[in-house]
Amino acid sequence: MSRGNIQGRESFLNQVAEKLGRPRSEHVERPEWQAQPQWDVFADENTDQLVERFKAQCDNIHTDVIETDMDGLQNAVAETIGAYQADSVIMWADDRLECAGLDDAFRSQMSALGVESAVWDTAKGEENIGVAERASVGITYSDITLAESGTVVLLAAPEKGRVVNLFPENYIAVIPRSSLVPRMTQATHRIHERVQNGEDIPSQIHFVSGPSNSADIEMSLVVGVHGPVRATYILLGDI
């Protein structure tokens, strides 16, 4: 990837330093912060306890939770699609979804039931965006899951289109129990470590907590604005 341009930097930063009353900072060590309460939140809780927290929070953010295992995933997804009265689905081209049972055979079965399903296909380029726009359900996997806020963390990659969890009116996230951490602190710490190791981080890291919403009209909550209107999380026992 070619390096981008930087314009107007020197005089801008010189002025900042001058106003701060010192020469330009050559090197700055981030201090060890005195208070670090973020690490104490739910620190001692085991996965079962975190699952309970997660479920309770999902209730607050208008998100249904189905607990099942690998054998039950196909049923849970089919039932959710049925409950949404949906006729078209788009999902990430993610090995983990396929291994969990959302594979070609499953898609053929769905098709026999009148539900068209598509997988995000990098070979098809921008066609994918139109497919996602017309789909009524989008399915992704959760890369990291935050118990406190009921959040799935989605790390962008070519086979994991960004609009899959945005365009369709209904959103399903498949969540392995093992992806659960107490809160955002653990997720951002992992990303920080990747940066420190010199790795490139994904072009988009999306923290998604339930369906889209707004309270811009008279402060009354409307669930479903530009993103999904309804969301279901399917929590899978450890794989």
Partner 1 sequence: MPLRVGEKDFEQRVNTGLEDAFMRGTVRSAQEKLRTRKQASSEELGDWEAWRTLGEDIRSHTLEHLDYYLEQLSDKVAERGGHVYFAKTAEEGNAYVQQVAREKEAKKIVKSKSMVTEEMSLNDALEDDGLEVVETDLGEYILQVDDHDPPSHIVAPSLHKNRTQIKDVFADKKGYEESDHADDITRFVRDELRGDFLDADIGITGCNFAVAESGTVSLVTNEGNADLATALPKTQISVMSMERIVPTWEELDVMVSLLCRSAVGQKLTSYITALTGPKGEDEIDGPEEFHLVIVDNGRSDILGTQFQSALHCIRCAACVNVCPVYRHVGGHAYGSIYNGPIGAVLTPLLDGYEDNKDLPYASSLCAACTEACPVKIPLHEHLIAHRQIITEKENLGPMPEKWAMKMFGTGASKPKLYRLGSKQAHRVMRPWTKGSSISNGPGPLKAWTNARDMPAPANERFRDWFANRRRSEPDE
For tokens 């790390």, the residue is 155
Q: Establish if 13 lies at the interface with partner 1 (CB under 8 A).
A: yes
Q: Which of 100, 95, 138, 145 is nearest to 118 (CA)?
A: 138
Q: Establish if 6 lies at the interface with partner 1 (CB under 8 A).
A: yes
Distance CA 235, CA 238 (A): 9
Q: Establish if 197 lies at the interface with partner 1 (CB under 8 A).
A: no
Sheet of 116-119: strand order equals 63-68, 230-236, 170-176, 137-141, 88-91, 116-119
Q: Establish if 56 lies at the interface with partner 1 (CB under 8 A).
A: no
Segment lying near partner 1 (by CB under 8 A), choices 70-78, 80-88, 98-106, 206-214: 206-214
CB 22 within 8 A of CB 14: no
Q: What are phi and psi of 30, to 5 degrees?
A: -65, 130
Q: What residues does 175 pair with on adjacent strands? A: 235
CB of 222 to partner 1, least distance (A): 4
CB of 72 to partner 1, least distance (A): 27
Q: Establish if 64 lies at the interface with partner 1 (CB under 8 A).
A: no
Segment lying near partner 1 (by CB under 8 A), choices 31-39, 70-78, 94-102, 108-116: 31-39
Segment lying near partner 1 (by CB under 8 A), choices 34-42, 67-75, 135-143, 172-180: 34-42
Residues 154-183 that bind partner 1 (CB under 8 A): 156-158, 161-163, 166-167, 183
Output the six-digit token pair for 87: 């006729």
Q: Establish if 198 lies at the interface with partner 1 (CB under 8 A).
A: no
Residues 101-130 that bind partner 1 (CB under 8 A): 120, 122, 125-126, 128-129
CB of 47 to partner 1, least distance (A): 19
For tokens 């973020």, the residue is 38
Strands 116-119 vs 144-146: parallel, antiparallel or unpaired: unpaired
Strands (DSSP E) found in 23-109: 63-68, 88-91
133 alpha carbon, distance to own chain's centre:
18
Segment lying near partner 1 (by CB under 8 A), choices 78-86, 106-114, 173-181, 225-233: 225-233
C-beta of 70 vs 157, nearer to partner 1 = 157
C-beta of 48 vs 218, nearer to partner 1 = 218
Work out which of 41, 66, 70, 78 binds partner 1, going by CB under 8 A. Answer: 41
CA dihedral 58, 60, 63, 68 (to 10 degrees): 30
